[in-house]
Amino acid sequence: QLQLQESGPGLVKPSETLSLTCTVSGGSISSRSYYWDWIRQPPGKGLEWIGSIYYSGSTSYNPSLKSRVIISVDTSKNQFSLKLSSVTAADTAVYYCARHQGGIEAFDIWGQGTMVTVSS
Amino acid sequence: DIVMTQSPDSLAVSLGERATINCKSSQSVLYSSNNKNYLAWYQQKPGQPPKLLIYWASTRESGVPDRFSGSGSGTDFTLTISSLQAEDVAVYYCQQFYSTPLFTFGPGTKVDIK
């Protein structure tokens, strides 16, 4: 069964770059039917889609974050990654990686999430 | 951008009773080419990631109990829990996949036991 696992620092200083990796296990990130996404959730708040990547490297980003976000994929490691630059306290959130199944247009598998706090 | 709204913000329902959650999109999420509504519902329990319940507005994900059902088309959608169980206490979110590159979620509806 396919699983996703986020990893990365839990604390990032303001103005620095947040970097997270999602490792896909139990299946291939190169499957043509799927996109791989990042979603975040500030404490006690709702869900915000950050962006998406296809195994080929094609990306799409939330326009409100586009200037600060880079999502990349490493098919050899079955991983995809998120970089969010110039972070502020407003970027403090649980960050989830998720599989977006293109056939049904839904996030059908999610990682457990990782809490990232932006603080000096 | 498509804005998603949900009502109510929260509701409390007795065990075994029906719970109804409404979701409205600021524009239609119905793709005329395939007549499918690009609208999904998720359940999120405390400390857990969201779980997909419904896609295409009314298709239950595999393994989801049949007490969960989705309905609606265009801009107005409903998630119904026909007989609330204790394990259904959660926050429920709708999400549209019609508008790229921005897949927006509703603000969530919290369901509790009365």
Q: Are A37 and A51 in contact (CB under 8 A)?
A: yes
Query: In this structure, are residues A98 and A82 in contact, taking their beta carbons and an 8 Å threshold?
Result: no
Query: Is B41 in the A-facing interface, judged by CB distances under 8 Å?
Result: no
On average, the pLDDT of chain A sits at: 96
- A55–B contact, CB cutoff 8 A: no
Q: Is B108 on the interface with A (CB under 8 A)?
A: yes
Residues forming a β-bridge with B55: B59
Q: Do A106 and B55 touch (CB under 8 A)?
A: yes
Secondary structure (3-state) at A2:
coil
Token pair belonging to B86: 């204790």
Q: Say if the Cβ atoms of A61 and B103 lie within 8 Å.
A: no
The DSSP symbol for B104 reads P
Nearest to A112 among B36, B49, B106 (CB): B49
B56 and A47 in contact by Cβ < 8 A? no
Q: Do B55 and A113 touch (CB under 8 A)?
A: no
**What would the pLDDT profile of A45-56 be if each residue is shown by its tens digit?**
999 999 999 999
Q: Distance, in angstroms, between A63 CA and closest chain B CA?
A: 7
Distance of residue B108 Cα from the nearest chain A Cα, in angstroms: 7
Contact B42 A107 (CB under 8 A): yes
The pLDDT confidence band at residue B6, using thresholds 50, 70 and 90, is very high
Location of structure tokens 């291939």:
A28
Distance in Å, alpha carbon of A67 to nearest chain B alpha carbon: 14
What are the CA-CA distances from residue B19 to residues B4, B10, B89, B112 (Å)? 20, 11, 11, 10
Confidence of residue B101 (pLDDT cuts 50, 70, 90): confident
Q: Which band of pLDDT confidence, cut at 50, 70 and 90, is reported for residue B100?
A: confident
What pairs with residue A82 in β-bridges?
A20, A71
How far is residue A19 from each of residues A35, A53, A66, A72, measured CA to CA in Å? 19, 16, 15, 11
Q: What angle do CA A101, A93, A33 make, to 5 degrees?
A: 10
Q: Residue B82: its pLDDT value, please?
A: 98
pLDDT on residue A30 = 95
